[in-house]
Amino acid sequence: MRLTKETADVFVPDGTGLEAALARTTHLGVGAHQDDLEFMAVHGVLACFGRPDKAFCGVTCTDGAGSSRTGVYADYSDEQMKAVRRSEQRTAALVGRYGAMLQLDFTSREVKGRDHEGLVNDLTEVLRATKPQVVYTHAPSDKHDTHVGVVRAVIAAIRRLSADTRPLHVYGCEIWRDLDWLPDARKVVLDVSERANISAALSGVFDSQISGGKRYDDAVMGRRRAHATFFESHAVDAATLLTFAMDLTPLVSDDRLSLADYTASLIDELKADVLRRITG
């Protein structure tokens, strides 16, 4: 597998050879930043945790240079911050028992560029090597431009694959704008109630971001608990922790369907639902 950046980092926690480590992948997560996978794709991590027949492979697209830094990290240079973030992501891969962890080392500016050729090429290489059944990436409704750049590249890369090698399910997951707004029939409801200790440990690995006052670990767990309670108004809670995703599979089943039009159609469904309730 040839990646664009010579500085890309490839890590296999259990020491398996890279080709075999990638080939065993069943669930693939593709995120923009170090910690995105642990916040949005934990369903895939838990689905594979301790399972000999399943493996989660993570891909982080950016280099971490633009990360916020305060406290003990306040005076870190971009290069020092990149090293810290890379190490934190490797630690998360160990905690979550990932089959493999790839950090592609693009800048945020590169990822935000529309369908950046290097990023799409790398993701295509990863997809061909892993042949995942399920892919988790960012929701196109996310308000972080780098996240949106990643989902555009993921869809472009999948569309380069032959129809018989494409993943069975592609989910756009919530981070910077949750997906509670999706009409219930359009929500992909992912139960992550089990092994909450592993979820908490994964969220807590990223000290460089959390210690500066952004309690992502608390916020992510709080959102999952809130979803579990507020998802259904007329029934007792069936789960203690839920995450929501947008089903992006139609976009890889029909190459004629645009990402913008598909996302807009879901927003229109929300608008129609709100107006129906108001007008009766």
For the segment 235-262, what is each residue's pLDDT rounded down to a tens digit?
777 899 999 999 999 999 999 999 999 9
Confirm if 229 and 217 have CB atoms less than 8 A apart.
no
Q: Is the pLDDT of residue 42 over 80?
A: yes
- The kind and range of the H/E element at 185 are none
Confirm if 246 and 186 have CB atoms less than 8 A apart.
yes
Q: 19 to each of 11, 23, 57, 183, 202, how far by Cα in Å? A: 12, 6, 12, 41, 25
Among 192, 221, 205, residue whose Cα is nearest residue 92: 205
For the chain, where are the E strands, in sequence order?
9-11, 27-31, 56-62, 100-106, 134-138, 169-173, 187-191, 242-247
Sign of the dihedral through C-alpha 105, 111, 117, 120: positive
The residues pairing with 260 across neighbouring beta strands, listed in sequence order, are none
Question: In which band, very low, low, confident or very high, does the pLDDT at 212 lie, cut at 50, 70 and 90?
Answer: low
Cα separation, 169 vs 247, in Å, equals: 8
Q: What's the confidence (pLDDT) of residue 171?
A: 98
Q: Which two tokens stand for residue 65?
A: 């240079």
Cα separation, 84 vs 5, in Å, equals: 19
Q: What's the confidence (pLDDT) of residue 197?
A: 94
Cα separation, 169 vs 236, in Å, equals: 29
Q: What's the confidence (pLDDT) of residue 256?
A: 96
Share of the chain above pLDDT 70, in %: 99
Q: 277 to each of 126, 264, 274, 280, how far by Cα in Å? A: 45, 20, 5, 5
Cα separation, 239 vs 49, in Å, equals: 19
Q: Which two tokens stand for residue 106?
A: 């693009």
**pLDDT, tens only, 257-280:** 999 999 999 999 999 999 999 998
Question: In which band, very low, low, confident or very high, does the pLDDT at 126 lie, cut at 50, 70 and 90?
Answer: very high
Q: Which two tokens stand for residue 209?
A: 């971001």
Among 9, 11, 45, 10, residue whose Cα is nearest residue 173: 45
Residue with tokens 């200790």: 197
Q: What's the confidence (pLDDT) of residue 280?
A: 82
Entry pTM? 0.96
Question: In which band, very low, low, confident or very high, does the pLDDT at 211 lie, cut at 50, 70 and 90?
Answer: confident
What domains does the chain contain, in order, with CATH numbers?
Answer: 9-279 (3.40.50.10320)
Phi, psi of 113 (to 5 degrees): -65, 140
Share of the chain above pLDDT 90, in %: 84
Question: In which band, very low, low, confident or very high, does the pLDDT at 156 lie, cut at 50, 70 and 90?
Answer: very high
Average pLDDT, the chain: 94
Question: In which band, very low, low, confident or very high, does the pLDDT at 234 lie, cut at 50, 70 and 90?
Answer: low
